[in-house]
Amino acid sequence: MMEITLSVLFWGYVMAYCVHVIEEVAVGEGFIEMMRKTFFAEFSWRMFFGFNLMIFIVFVIGIVLFELFGGVWVIWPLSFAFMFVTNGLWHLIQTIVLRKFSPGLITSPFYWILIYFITRYFLLTGEILLLNFVLSAVFGTVITLVMFGLALYVRRKMKKDQE
Protein backbone atom coordinates (compact mmCIF):
# COMPACT_ATOMS: atom_id res chain seq x y z
CA MET A 1 0.00 0.00 0.00
CA MET A 2 1.34 3.41 -0.96
CA GLU A 3 1.46 6.02 1.77
CA ILE A 4 1.01 9.70 0.92
CA THR A 5 2.93 12.07 3.14
CA LEU A 6 1.70 15.36 4.50
CA SER A 7 4.36 17.11 2.41
CA VAL A 8 2.90 15.56 -0.75
CA LEU A 9 -0.54 16.92 0.18
CA PHE A 10 0.97 20.38 0.75
CA TRP A 11 2.64 20.20 -2.67
CA GLY A 12 -0.79 19.16 -3.98
CA TYR A 13 -2.03 22.54 -2.75
CA VAL A 14 0.76 24.24 -4.73
CA MET A 15 -0.31 22.40 -7.88
CA ALA A 16 -3.99 23.14 -7.24
CA TYR A 17 -3.10 26.81 -6.68
CA CYS A 18 -1.28 26.99 -10.03
CA VAL A 19 -4.34 25.57 -11.80
CA HIS A 20 -6.59 27.88 -9.73
CA VAL A 21 -4.68 30.96 -10.93
CA ILE A 22 -4.91 29.77 -14.54
CA GLU A 23 -8.67 29.32 -14.07
CA GLU A 24 -9.00 32.83 -12.64
CA VAL A 25 -7.30 34.20 -15.75
CA ALA A 26 -8.83 31.99 -18.44
CA VAL A 27 -12.38 31.02 -17.45
CA GLY A 28 -15.44 33.19 -17.94
CA GLU A 29 -14.80 36.91 -17.91
CA GLY A 30 -11.78 36.27 -15.69
CA PHE A 31 -11.18 37.18 -12.09
CA ILE A 32 -9.47 40.48 -12.89
CA GLU A 33 -12.32 41.76 -15.04
CA MET A 34 -14.88 40.52 -12.52
CA MET A 35 -13.03 42.41 -9.76
CA ARG A 36 -12.96 45.55 -11.89
CA LYS A 37 -16.68 45.40 -12.61
CA THR A 38 -18.01 44.43 -9.20
CA PHE A 39 -15.56 45.58 -6.57
CA PHE A 40 -12.34 47.35 -7.44
CA ALA A 41 -12.19 49.28 -10.75
CA GLU A 42 -8.46 49.91 -10.38
CA PHE A 43 -7.57 46.22 -9.98
CA SER A 44 -4.82 45.35 -12.47
CA TRP A 45 -2.95 42.42 -13.96
CA ARG A 46 0.14 43.66 -12.14
CA MET A 47 -1.66 43.52 -8.76
CA PHE A 48 -3.03 40.07 -9.55
CA PHE A 49 0.35 38.70 -10.64
CA GLY A 50 2.30 40.29 -7.78
CA PHE A 51 -0.12 39.11 -5.13
CA ASN A 52 -0.29 35.54 -6.43
CA LEU A 53 3.49 35.34 -6.81
CA MET A 54 3.94 36.52 -3.22
CA ILE A 55 1.45 33.92 -1.92
CA PHE A 56 3.16 31.21 -3.97
CA ILE A 57 6.66 32.04 -2.68
CA VAL A 58 5.62 32.36 0.98
CA PHE A 59 3.66 29.10 0.83
CA VAL A 60 6.54 27.17 -0.79
CA ILE A 61 8.98 28.52 1.84
CA GLY A 62 6.61 27.23 4.53
CA ILE A 63 6.46 23.77 2.96
CA VAL A 64 10.24 23.56 2.71
CA LEU A 65 10.67 24.67 6.33
CA PHE A 66 8.16 22.02 7.40
CA GLU A 67 10.03 19.37 5.40
CA LEU A 68 13.33 20.42 7.00
CA PHE A 69 12.22 20.85 10.61
CA GLY A 70 8.81 19.14 10.99
CA GLY A 71 6.87 19.52 14.21
CA VAL A 72 5.31 22.89 14.89
CA TRP A 73 6.47 24.11 11.46
CA VAL A 74 3.37 22.33 10.13
CA ILE A 75 1.40 25.43 11.16
CA TRP A 76 2.85 27.54 8.34
CA PRO A 77 1.86 25.41 5.33
CA LEU A 78 -1.31 24.21 7.04
CA SER A 79 -2.36 27.83 7.57
CA PHE A 80 -2.00 28.41 3.84
CA ALA A 81 -3.99 25.24 3.17
CA PHE A 82 -6.81 26.74 5.25
CA MET A 83 -6.40 30.06 3.45
CA PHE A 84 -7.04 28.24 0.18
CA VAL A 85 -10.04 26.43 1.69
CA THR A 86 -11.59 29.72 2.85
CA ASN A 87 -10.73 31.36 -0.48
CA GLY A 88 -12.67 28.58 -2.19
CA LEU A 89 -15.61 29.25 0.13
CA TRP A 90 -15.37 32.92 -0.87
CA HIS A 91 -15.65 31.95 -4.57
CA LEU A 92 -18.73 29.86 -3.73
CA ILE A 93 -20.36 32.64 -1.70
CA GLN A 94 -19.54 35.22 -4.36
CA THR A 95 -21.13 33.03 -7.05
CA ILE A 96 -24.29 32.64 -4.95
CA VAL A 97 -24.58 36.30 -3.91
CA LEU A 98 -23.80 37.80 -7.34
CA ARG A 99 -25.65 35.00 -9.16
CA LYS A 100 -22.72 34.99 -11.52
CA PHE A 101 -19.86 32.50 -11.84
CA SER A 102 -16.79 33.49 -9.83
CA PRO A 103 -13.60 32.43 -11.64
CA GLY A 104 -11.77 30.19 -9.19
CA LEU A 105 -14.84 28.20 -8.17
CA ILE A 106 -14.12 25.23 -10.46
CA THR A 107 -10.78 24.46 -8.79
CA SER A 108 -11.89 25.23 -5.22
CA PRO A 109 -13.05 21.62 -4.58
CA PHE A 110 -9.40 20.54 -4.98
CA TYR A 111 -8.66 22.51 -1.82
CA TRP A 112 -11.59 21.00 0.04
CA ILE A 113 -10.62 17.45 -0.98
CA LEU A 114 -7.02 18.00 0.13
CA ILE A 115 -8.11 19.36 3.55
CA TYR A 116 -10.32 16.27 3.93
CA PHE A 117 -7.26 14.05 3.34
CA ILE A 118 -5.22 16.06 5.83
CA THR A 119 -8.01 15.86 8.41
CA ARG A 120 -8.75 12.17 7.84
CA TYR A 121 -5.23 10.82 7.57
CA PHE A 122 -3.17 13.21 9.69
CA LEU A 123 -5.37 14.96 12.25
CA LEU A 124 -7.59 12.00 13.15
CA THR A 125 -4.61 9.66 13.37
CA GLY A 126 -2.79 12.04 15.72
CA GLU A 127 0.03 12.92 13.33
CA ILE A 128 -1.05 16.57 13.51
CA LEU A 129 -1.79 17.91 16.96
CA LEU A 130 -5.30 19.31 17.39
CA LEU A 131 -3.84 22.58 18.70
CA ASN A 132 -1.69 23.02 15.59
CA PHE A 133 -4.66 22.19 13.38
CA VAL A 134 -6.94 24.71 15.13
CA LEU A 135 -4.24 27.40 15.14
CA SER A 136 -3.69 26.81 11.42
CA ALA A 137 -7.42 27.08 10.73
CA VAL A 138 -7.57 30.37 12.63
CA PHE A 139 -4.41 31.76 10.97
CA GLY A 140 -5.58 30.67 7.50
CA THR A 141 -8.95 32.32 7.99
CA VAL A 142 -7.27 35.48 9.28
CA ILE A 143 -4.94 35.52 6.24
CA THR A 144 -8.02 35.40 3.98
CA LEU A 145 -9.68 38.22 5.92
CA VAL A 146 -6.46 40.28 5.78
CA MET A 147 -6.32 39.75 2.00
CA PHE A 148 -9.82 41.15 1.63
CA GLY A 149 -9.06 43.95 4.08
CA LEU A 150 -5.91 44.82 2.15
CA ALA A 151 -7.89 44.94 -1.09
CA LEU A 152 -10.37 47.32 0.56
CA TYR A 153 -7.53 49.45 1.94
CA VAL A 154 -5.76 49.70 -1.44
CA ARG A 155 -9.08 50.49 -3.12
CA ARG A 156 -9.83 53.31 -0.65
CA LYS A 157 -6.30 54.66 -0.85
CA MET A 158 -6.38 54.73 -4.66
CA LYS A 159 -9.76 56.50 -4.66
CA LYS A 160 -8.49 59.03 -2.13
CA ASP A 161 -5.34 59.68 -4.18
CA GLN A 162 -7.52 60.32 -7.25
CA GLU A 163 -9.54 63.01 -5.45
In angstroms, rounded to a whole number, what is the distance separating the alpha carbons of residues 82 and 148?
A: 15
How far apart, in whole angstroms, are the C-alpha atoms of residue 48 and residue 134?
Answer: 29
Beta-carbon contacts of 160 under 8 Å, excluding residues fewer than 6 positions away, are: none
Average pLDDT over residues 56-77: 97
The answer to whether 87 and 111 have CB atoms below 8 angstroms apart is yes
pLDDT of residue 147: 84
**Model confidence band, residue 107 (pLDDT cutoffs 50, 70, 90):** very high
Predicted TM-score (pTM) of the model is 0.88
Per residue in 14-66, pLDDT (tens digit) is 999 999 999 999 988 888 888 888 777 788 899 889 999 999 999 999 999 99
Taking 70 as the threshold, does the pLDDT of residue 96 lie above it?
yes
Q: What residue segments make up the domains of the chain, in order of their start?
A: 6-158
Spatial distance between the Cα atoms of 70 and 29, rounded to a whole number of angstroms: 41
pLDDT given at position 114? 98
CA angle 16, 117, 109 (to 5 degrees): 40
Residue 72 has a pLDDT of 95
Provide the percentage of residues in the chain whose pLDDT is more than 90.
64
Residue 59's alpha-carbon distances to 2, 75, 94, 148, 159, in angstroms, are 26, 11, 25, 18, 31
